[in-house]
Amino acid sequence: MPKRIIEPLRAYSSKHKFKVGDALPNVNLYENSPNNPVSASELYKGKKGVLFAVVGAFTPGCTNTHIPDYLSLYDKFKEEGYMISCVAVNDPFVMAAWAKSTGAEGKIRMLADPCGEFTKTLGMDIDCTKLLGGVRSHKYSLVVEDSIIQSINVDPESTGLQCLLCIQNMRVVDKADVKR
């Protein structure tokens, strides 16, 4: 029977502070409350998943395109054992409200990076002071297995399309085609 996999991509800018094969940094993110820290380095321990970052919760492109696209493939990701997480430089209450308003609760882990520490550690911070009031994150996605980055998709032009590449590159292959 064919198996769905995420085909690895390794497109990223050299200015970023991470590469394929690196472990996720030991930085806390927050889920639903400031009292619920989630260690990024432990998030995917013994698991595989997709972690994608957006400029901000409730921004039009992220709300109307990114979240719905990930939700539309939730069952496929789950079937293959992938956990989906979204990170944004927002507070945990905003991320929780965004999860509720988009129907992502229980499907996509909405993780807040309130001070941008995770984002800055990866070198993915951008100055959005004029438009959004402070530092935010570039849009990107990571395919992660056992906390190790397997694939990186960075949006080089801030179009928002690169953080969807792990979805666009899902393809059906026979097990015989998978070379590891």
Which of 62, 86, 163, 166 is catalytic? The answer is: 62
Cα–Cα distance, 9 to 156 (Å, whole number): 14
Residue 15 one-letter amino acid: K
Cα–Cα distance, 55 to 139 (Å, whole number): 6
Cα–Cα distance, 125 to 139 (Å, whole number): 10
Residue 42 Cα distances to 28, 30, 177, angstroms: 10, 13, 31
- The yes-or-no answer on residue 62 being catalytic is yes
Three-class DSSP category at 178? coil
Cα–Cα distance, 37 to 112 (Å, whole number): 9
Catalytic residues: 62
